[in-house]
A and B are shown apart, each in its own frame.
Chain A
Amino acid sequence: MVSIQMVNVSKRYTTSWRGAKVEALRDLNLEVRAGEVFGLLGPNGSGKSTTLKIILGLVEATSGQVQVLGSSIRRLATRQRIGFLPESPYFYRFLTGEELLYFCGRLCGVPKTKLSQRVDELLVLVGLEKGAKRALNTYSKGMLQRIGLAQALVHDPELVLLDEPTAGVDPLGSRDIKDLILRLKQAGKTVVLSSHWLDQVEEVCDRVAILHEGQKVLEGELKDLLAIKDETQLVVKHFQREQESEVRRALEQLHLEWVESKSVRRDLESLFIERVSK
């Protein structure tokens, strides 16, 4: 099953009244399968935002075909099945977190009878129970990102598009968002993630596409793309430097080539989370 299909999609923006054009996307072919977490990567100006905007129907492709959830994005019924978190979301800041969720829920057609329970669930899910009654203009960037995620999920969409979901969020919050994405995947949702944070993408995505100057330069399963097929890493406890020659000899006997030895280091994020969450 395919959630998003883009075939030879190009987008040219007219940048001046004289008709000068900029090509933001060139012949993009992209397929996002149902139930996967798909990462859209690329430097600034690579076409990630344009791709998301085309998927959402905010801009029209100059040429090519786009199908979202098997239908046109112009149809309200299709958009009913999509949730979107924009980059650095600024919602109506005079609303409280709870009011925003009610507003978005009603816009998405969630029945009033179900909305109250759904809002409570989401506030718990994104860890904002305590901030629910506060106006959004008192929220930190991380809290805005969390409430942004909640509003994207308020109508329980099948496809969730997240534009830089961890931008401005501290490592703990970032970890929570990553866990949430994985939970969405477990619940059978399709998640498209646009991000600069490659290590986070690596942790949660099944497949990625890398865009550069409006073109796709790579697409595939993350585990295939990152694996060095003829190398395996062994992690050994209590290894002494003096033992290296013995290990090399043993490997030679097995017709295996020694590549390198290095101390295993934990990453800073896990250290931070361990210390701060105590």
Chain B
Amino acid sequence: MTRVWLLAKVTLWEALRHRVLNVLLLFALAIIGTANFFSQLSFDEQLKFVKDFSFGAMTLIGVLMAVVSMAQLLPQEVENRTLFTILSKPVRRWEFLAGKCLGMALTLLLALVMMALVFGVVLKLQEKNLEQQILQQMQETVSLEEKAEAHETLQKIQAEVRDPYLFMAFGIIYGRWLLVAAVALLISTFSTSMLFTVVMTMMVYVIGHLQSTAREMWWHVSAGVSTITKGILVVVSLCFPDFQMLSGVDNIVVGAAPSGLDLFYILGYVVLYVGVAVGAACLIFSQREW
């Protein structure tokens, strides 16, 4: 485990110097910039929008980060010959790959934590801003009914900001990043170029959103389906990850968070799929020659 941890640390260290800060800056600018643009929406809708947009930005930026980082992981090591230096030492190939994966998973986790912190700060600032506006309205109004309504809005805003399910959303986003990263890693073990890995992974990502539909069709539709179509449905159902399963973040924004059991099922699926993908990547990698 020492060797895996050493390689993970180096990978994390390298990534920190290259990617995370740039990505964080981009993300921070994106959400801060958009947070105040939609004042025509009602107060609680403004917060919902900030959350929705931020989660969308986090998902997209993180997915891109995971794909690009993983796609260049092995080609970079081969090109720089660092791979030969490491593998000529008493390091098993699976240890090398596991170390690299762990390092990348930690990098993504760090990026998530940093994005979540920026998100939290922006949400808090927006809350303060909205609170001030409401308090001002309350001072200006004399009607008790309007005051009660404003008080209710204030409570809604506080509930939106202090929603514990936001942490669940971060977990689901992280799961999505890990799934994409695992797919990119698996493809990169037999790919000959980084571009091929990126394009293939993005294809898998898009098709993965249709995996549940393909699975439904495979299970329920049998008559009138050609063997080729059936074959495609089977391959998509069995080999492609189900990214639709990780769309619970949208439900959390609208206040319909998945149950604890659902979350357990989602995280279990992510762990299982990532485990199988990394295991397969290790098998292929152990046979590769340069």
Contacts and interface: CB of A to CB of B under 8 A. Distances in A.
Contact of A151 (B14, B17, B85, B289): B85
Contact of B84 (A80, A84, A95, A104): A84
Given A92-B14, A94-B17, A104 B89 contact: yes
Nearest to B85: A86
B189 to A, nearest CB: 16
Contacts of B2: 106, 109
A197 interface: no
A14 B252 CA distance: 52
Contacts of B88: 56-58, 79, 82, 84, 86, 161
B85 A108 contact: no
A142 interface: no
A151 B82 CA distance: 12
Contacts, number: 72
B80 interface: yes
B278 to A, nearest CB: 21
Q: Please classify how large the interface on chain B is, using the bins under 10, 10 to 19, 20 to 34, 35 or more.
A: 20 to 34
B10 A103 contact: yes
Nearest to B287: A60
A90 B82 contact: yes
A152 to B, nearest CB: 9
Given A76-B92, A106-B6, A91 B85 contact: yes
Contacts of A82: 88
Contact of B6 (A56, A58, A107, A148): A107
A218 interface: no
Interface in A97-125: 103-104, 106-109
12 contacts: A53-B290, A58-B289, A59-B290, A79-B91, A80-B90, A86-B84, A89-B81, A103-B6, A106-B2, A106-B6, A107-B90, A109-B2
Given A84-B84, A92-B82, 7 more contacts: A56-B87, A56-B88, A57-B88, A82-B88, A89-B81, A91-B82, A107-B90
